[in-house]
Amino acid sequence: MFGLVNSDGSVRDRLPITVEDMRDLYADMVEARTYDEKSMAMQRQGRLATYAPFRGQEAAQIGAAAALHEDDWVVGTYRDAALNWRAGYPWRLLVLGRTGDERGGELPEGVNVLPPSITVGGHMIHAGGLAWAEKLQGSERIALTSFGDGATSEGDFHEAMNFAAVFATPTVFLCQNNGYAISYPTAEQTKSKTIAAKAEGYGMPGVRVDGNDVVGVLVAVREAADRARKGEGPSLIEAVTYRMGPHTTADDPTRYRDEAESRDWEDRDPLLRVRRLLEKAGGWTDEWQAELEKAASRVIEEAVEWAEDVPEPTFEQMMGRVFAERSRSPTQQPDGAADE
Amino acid sequence: MFGLVNSDGSVRDRLPITVEDMRDLYADMVEARTYDEKSMAMQRQGRLATYAPFRGQEAAQIGAAAALHEDDWVVGTYRDAALNWRAGYPWRLLVLGRTGDERGGELPEGVNVLPPSITVGGHMIHAGGLAWAEKLQGSERIALTSFGDGATSEGDFHEAMNFAAVFATPTVFLCQNNGYAISYPTAEQTKSKTIAAKAEGYGMPGVRVDGNDVVGVLVAVREAADRARKGEGPSLIEAVTYRMGPHTTADDPTRYRDEAESRDWEDRDPLLRVRRLLEKAGGWTDEWQAELEKAASRVIEEAVEWAEDVPEPTFEQMMGRVFAERSRSPTQQPDGAADE
Amino acid sequence: MNELNLAQALNGALDTALSSDDRVVLLGEDIGRTGGVFRITDGLADKYGTDRVFDTPVAESGIVGAAFGMAIAGMRPVAELQFMGFSYPAYDQVINHVARIRNRSNHRFTAPLVIRIPYGGGIGAAEHHSESTEAIYAHIPGVKVVVPSTPRDARGLLLAAIEDPDPVLFLEPIRLYRAIKEQIPEIYYRVDIGPVRVERQGVDVTLFGWGAMMKETRQAASALEEEDISVEVIDVRTLTPLDRDGIVASVEKTGRAVVVHEAPLTGGFGAEIAATIQEQCLYSLLAPVQRVTGWDTVFPLKRSEGHYLPSVDQIIAAARRTLEE
Amino acid sequence: MNELNLAQALNGALDTALSSDDRVVLLGEDIGRTGGVFRITDGLADKYGTDRVFDTPVAESGIVGAAFGMAIAGMRPVAELQFMGFSYPAYDQVINHVARIRNRSNHRFTAPLVIRIPYGGGIGAAEHHSESTEAIYAHIPGVKVVVPSTPRDARGLLLAAIEDPDPVLFLEPIRLYRAIKEQIPEIYYRVDIGPVRVERQGVDVTLFGWGAMMKETRQAASALEEEDISVEVIDVRTLTPLDRDGIVASVEKTGRAVVVHEAPLTGGFGAEIAATIQEQCLYSLLAPVQRVTGWDTVFPLKRSEGHYLPSVDQIIAAARRTLEE
Ligand SMILES: Cc1ncc(C[n+]2csc(CCOP(=O)(O)OP(=O)(O)O)c2C)c(N)n1
Ligand SMILES: Cc1ncc(C[n+]2csc(CCOP(=O)(O)OP(=O)(O)O)c2C)c(N)n1
Ligand SMILES: [Mg+2]
Ligand SMILES: [Mg+2]
């Protein structure tokens, strides 16, 4: 398994990035975790609809996004808030979406991130189509799609991989193998030795990377992105990580996994690892940590405030986004409720 | 690529079957080709609906069926008449089906062949389910599913392979790679080096066999069937062959392939190969060939006569096979046509 | 007798089916270890073992296609799809294979399987978790579509579905899973697939509903009765085969009808019922059949659910409209 | 002007679209080298190159999902699915993504793509090659469903569909591809998506149809006119958004209506039209709206097609029934 930084913060190989860049990545991971924790708390207070935490997967998501260009396409899932944010999706819109408001999906112009996919499978194909269009239109843009280990069992994974390979579209397939699809362990999901090994069947490169090593992920995704941009086609990256929290706020992981296993992964926490590395390099202090946390809290609080201030959605808004033109007026619904 | 008999009838290795058995296989292949030719002719006369010829694929189909037990499940496609017949599907019902009559799908009790699947993809999953049920019920029965190179691009191929592997169902996946999916060549269908290589991604064995070598196919399928029966799970076999005719009677292959290519495959004709082998072994004569052809013609003629004698299907028959009980009477359709 | 809610009644029915028929197996995503996202299969993997109750990979076409194969080979699989919004990858299996093998083989092979699908909105869930697309299933010849709205019906209809020689789509109203309790016999009993259930008799107007919308429909009926309007309430229960006779008989009596569903209006199953009524008893109709339905838009997220779902007031208003004319 | 059949008109429309808009690309199984199983894309790969006209792997979800991505990224893909019976593996893409991205992103991302689907029976084809399941698509908010029945409409509607800012399912009646010729302007013209087309004016009864069944509908109208019955014939053309006003206006005039489609009765789109008519003009209705449809069974193979497809006589009989009452 590819990787550059070990759990204890020691380094396997010369790192291709500076300590300053490491600090930036770390700051991003702290900000993402702050959002994650805040969201869990808000959901418990009834302020958000069901929430799917990404705790433990920050390295995979921040590392991947950091490897992309600003205008690349990103097509991820309900668990990819950190990835999406780092690729340009404002926190305030992510929060708004989670309160149960479609306006959270209205990305700013120039941010080429699709609103999170809730179905697992279908969205991977979209990344192939987006990348294909960019290639045909002669742009440099590529598309990255993120999905879980469970999603690799859907037929759409197969069709997405095959299409991308056949048309040599500039697509990066990033699987965050976090050990579970809700309650179902990866070891049962497939009898393939690894998920990366599935790439072979499509004639594309497959790489297995330590998904809790932000630098390892960054490097792996950058290589895949470079290949894509050079016209060498798609790649599959399996980032091996762990979902430290429940599947969603509605889930109870004690029904299907050992506390011991989860505890085991705590030492492999992706934030801890960077912190240890930075400590060794003299790039981390208690004060800085406190500063980061405070700054992150403020940013997230602001996003939450903004989102919670958005006026209640109206009936007209609900009806007004089916088509470009509002082609069916509510009065065509003969129950008379249009008067509401 | 695995194989035992070369195009010129020479043998690569000691054959695991007797000359007598070879002669039987040859006789079956002649009978199948007679059916195929007769069907093409009948379709041109308007006596059959569209027909999909299997010319060139007799070795793959007869070899595979010969490796099965009488009561194993077989789940194939519109192009698998030879496979289905050898597995127990009477010619007369195959002909009846091709005239456009659902009663052609009413297999005799004890024959565990499903009526041919017209959609490509979905049926492979069924073979997994059938095999799984047999395993759960403690039977020795296995299921073989046959499909084309094109079908391997469907999401259902992936789901079928994965399910079979995960539940270690006794299933044999037989891909007849005949070079084309209608007009689309296999080389474009996937960037995988081979179709057999796709097995790896599911943690199951994949074998590539010369699909025009009936003994090679027989041996490969028998090994896979043995594994399955022993509880060792599914396998994928890629039988490399060639569709010598058009996709169907509605297709014009000159639009997409070279005459030269087709001519090239004529020398690799699976029947010719066995004949050459038998000639060398003293097991073939002109008279015997004439006898075989005559016998086959008679058998097929009889099947055709039988099928064409089946009375026109009635309205009641059409309505009577939706459910076990005829739960919706035609008079419930308010257009009054029930009086017809 | 046991006082059970709809979820418990379903769990009990599956338990009964597993214990009384060896051919019954359950399969679906997360139905084993966790007992399903709605806990409908809770405890059954422990009780019957992982050779009867299977967690599967995340692959809906695979689940239905595998269940289909198992059914042909003599078993009685009960598959769960996690939410109706995730049922579509299996749509091809349902319409092209499950619904057709009897026809394709002229009765030689059959597919007696049940596909359980939690459906409907009202719980503030994420996108795709609130679907009510029964109409796209009720248009398929060869599958039966059943929707219980009470614990008692839930048990009886599910046992009937598992026994049925043909495939049954069993739609479970999510927001009723834990909404009402009812005394339920512990014995093995069936509720016939087909007939509507006249839940309340009346002579002025008939309200037709099914599944989760029965709650609002009942409330509307009670409110109308307080104004001395005599309301007949019919739980359609089985969408296909549709009990046209039962529907028509009621409207011939009342002369007025309101059909309630939460799916969008256009092409919803309410259209079939309204079309049938006008076909078969136009001259008894005192007013147009009213449809009270969801809007022709994507089922919205939490904050807009109130705009979308048909309300008790809308049903009352529709009933009044039929009475005014 | 050019005398063209429906297939040629579609080929011409695609040609025009490819030449007038660089963003237009075509993709689908066998559409390049062979020009599609119905030759609708004949010659276009040669003319525009394999960077505009793509043969794809056999994977319908892949085709629609890729077209969807391309549309979001600014192109105007026109996907072909080979037969309606093979469209279901892409149903999830259509209902869960294509129809929803505008809603999900509050107009920020849109999917202006066209999915062309040959549909309908009558050519004695194999199983799954005769489907007419428009109802399952017309129930999806967020996609438009268009069905031409004449060469002139085919060209104009297809060009309008390709220009449309929203996804359009474009259903092509297989048995009309080469059935009729019509003079067609070679210029770029659009036929609006939405309005029904009143094909023949009359005052006694309205016949509603679309797609392939328009042929029998027209024949029935001619036969009825010979008996001095004045028949209005309406080609619905666009199933969603449905032109309810156009439908109602006609029935308010004639007081009698027959809806014709070849899909099974139960849950077919005819139900929506019948339901709408009784809702909006019950008091103008002189007789129940009649539905002349396929039967509630699997579309049969060649030898039974005659039992299944609605006939001219059935349409005439239904119209007579409305006149007798
Ligand atoms: C098509 C589809 N089927 C089922 C679901 C229900 N579901 C939601 S999350 C999930 C597990 C996905 O696991 P994985 O892909 O590993 O992603 P993770 O949640 O671990 O990030 C399932 C089955 C879904 N969202 N979409
Ligand atoms: C789901 C589905 N999509 C499309 C088709 C149309 N179709 C019929 S045969 C065929 C090609 C299949 O090629 P392959 O799997 O290689 O089988 P072969 O015909 O070569 O035996 C296609 C695309 C179909 N039958 N089913
Ligand atoms: Mg996972
Ligand atoms: Mg092939």
Q: Mark whether A256 is an active-site residue.
A: yes
Going residue by residue through chain B, which has 340 residues, state the pLDDT in tens, using 9 for 90 and above: 999 999 999 999 899 999 999 999 999 999 999 999 999 999 999 999 999 999 999 999 999 999 999 999 999 999 999 999 999 999 999 999 999 999 999 999 999 999 999 999 999 999 999 999 999 999 999 999 999 999 999 999 999 999 999 999 999 999 999 999 999 999 999 999 999 999 999 999 999 999 999 999 999 999 999 999 999 999 999 999 999 999 999 999 999 999 999 999 999 999 999 999 999 999 999 999 999 999 999 999 999 999 999 999 999 999 999 999 865 444 445 444 443 3
Same domain, C70 and C102: yes
In chain D, which residue's Cα lies nearest the Cα of B311? Answer: D303
**Closest ligand 2 atom, residue B248 Cα:** 19
pLDDT for res A186: 98
Residues 6+ apart with CB under 8 A from D324: D287
C58–A50 CB contact, under 8 Å: no
CA-atom Rg of chain A in angstroms: 21
Residues of A in contact with D101 (CB under 8 A): 114
Ligand 4 centroid from CA A174, angstroms: 31
Tell which of D161, D184, D207 closes a domain: D184
Tell whether C226 is covered by a domain: yes
Tell whether B217 is covered by a domain: yes
Same domain, D110 and D233: no
pLDDT digits (tens, 9 = 90+) for C157-170: 999 999 999 999 99
Tell whether B127 is covered by a domain: yes
Q: Indicate the average pLDDT of chain A.
A: 95
Active site residues of D: 129
Tell whether A1 is covered by a domain: no
Same domain, D266 and D208: yes
Reference A214, options A181, A188, A241; nearest CA is A241
- pLDDT at residue A90 above 50? yes
- pLDDT at residue A328 above 60? no
Tell whether B337 is covered by a domain: no
CA–CA separation, C157 vs C14, rounded Å? Answer: 11
pLDDT for res A339: 37
**B143-148 vs B171-177, strand pairing mode:** parallel
Closest residue to C107, CB basis, from B122, B136, B321: B321
From the candidates A123, A247, A268, A275, give the one annotated as an active-site residue: A247
Give the minimum alpha-carbon distance from B202 to chain C in angstroms, rounded to a whole number.
13
Task: Give nearest CA residue, ligand 1 atom 13.
Answer: A181
Extended strands (E) in A56-211:
73-75, 143-148, 171-177, 180-181, 184-185, 206-210
C279–D274 CB contact, under 8 Å: yes
- The response to whether residue A243 sits with its C-beta less than 6 Å from ligand 1 reads yes
Same domain, D180 and D66: yes
Residues of A in contact with B157 (CB under 8 A): 155, 158
| Residues A68, A228 contacting (CB under 8 angstroms) | no
Residue C267 banded pLDDT, cuts 50, 70, 90: very high
Same domain, C313 and C245: yes
- pLDDT at residue A332 above 50? no
pLDDT digits (tens, 9 = 90+) for C243-260: 999 999 999 999 999 999
- The response to whether residue A250 sits with its C-beta less than 6 Å from ligand 1 reads no
Reference D157, options D129, D124, D193, D130; nearest CA is D193
Total domains present in chain D: 2
pLDDT digits (tens, 9 = 90+) for D187-204: 999 999 999 999 999 999
What is the mean pLDDT of the segment spanning A175-183? 98
Residue written as tokens 């060869």? C142
- pLDDT at residue C325 above 80? no
Tell whether A279 is covered by a domain: yes
Tell whether A337 is covered by a domain: no
Question: Is A165 part of the contact surface with chain B (CB cutoff 8 Å)?
Answer: yes
Same domain, D204 and D307: yes
Angle (nearest 5°) at CA C183 between C181 and C185: 135
Total domains present in chain B: 1
ipTM for the assembly: 0.98
Same domain, C209 and C237: yes
- pLDDT at residue A329 above 90? no
| Residues D227, D189 contacting (CB under 8 angstroms) | no
Same domain, C93 and C154: yes
Hey, which residues 143-182 in chain C have their CB within 8 Å of chain D? none
| Residues A150, A189 contacting (CB under 8 angstroms) | yes
Same domain, C144 and C15: yes
Q: Write out the two tokens for C93.
A: 């299996």
Tell whether C189 is covered by a domain: no
Tell whether C191 is covered by a domain: no
CA–CA separation, A197 vs A199, rounded Å? Answer: 5
CATH at residue C55: 3.40.50.970
Residues of D in contact with B153 (CB under 8 A): 57-59, 62
In chain A, which residue's Cα lies nearest the Cα of D140? Answer: A322
Q: Which amino acid is at B96?
A: L
pLDDT digits (tens, 9 = 90+) for D104-160: 999 999 999 999 999 999 999 999 999 999 999 999 999 999 999 999 999 999 999
- Per DSSP, the three-state class of A29 is helix
Same domain, D204 and D148: no
- pLDDT at residue C314 above 50? yes
Tell whether A329 is covered by a domain: no
CA-atom Rg of chain B in angstroms: 21
Residues of C in contact with D280 (CB under 8 A): 288
Ligand 4 centroid from CA B268, angstroms: 17
Tell whether B166 is covered by a domain: yes
In chain A, which residue's Cα lies nearest the Cα of B194? Answer: A201
Residues of D in contact with C136 (CB under 8 A): 135-136, 139
Tell which of C126, C161, C184 closes a domain: C184
Say whether pTM exceeds 0.90: yes
Same domain, D244 and D179: no
Cβ burial B279-318 (10 Å sphere, 16+ → b, else e)? eeeebbeeeeeeebeeebbeebeebbeebeebeebebebb
CATH at residue B277: 3.40.50.970
**What is the domain range of residue D93?**
2-184
- pLDDT at residue A335 above 50? no
Question: Is C102 part of the contact surface with chain D (CB cutoff 8 Å)?
Answer: no
Task: Name the residue of B77, B125, B182 whose CB sits within 8 Å of the most ligand 2 atoms, as the mutation to test its pocket.
Answer: B182
Cβ burial D201-225 (10 Å sphere, 16+ → b, else e)? ebebbbbbbbbbbbbbbbebbebbe
Same domain, D263 and D114: no
- Per DSSP, the three-state class of A269 is coil
pLDDT digits (tens, 9 = 90+) for A276-318: 999 999 999 999 999 999 999 999 999 999 999 999 999 999 9
For chain D, 325 residues long, the average pLDDT of each consecutive 10-residue run is 95 98 98 97 98 98 98 98 98 98 98 98 96 98 98 98 98 97 95 98 98 98 98 98 98 98 98 98 96 98 97 98 91
Tell whether C190 is covered by a domain: no
**What is the domain range of residue A94?**
19-320
Hey, which residues 242-281 in chain C have their CB within 8 Å of chain D? 242, 263-264, 266-272, 274-280
pLDDT for res C116: 99
CATH at residue C305: 3.40.50.920
- Under 8 Å CB pairs connecting chains A and C tally to 135
- pLDDT at residue A333 above 80? no
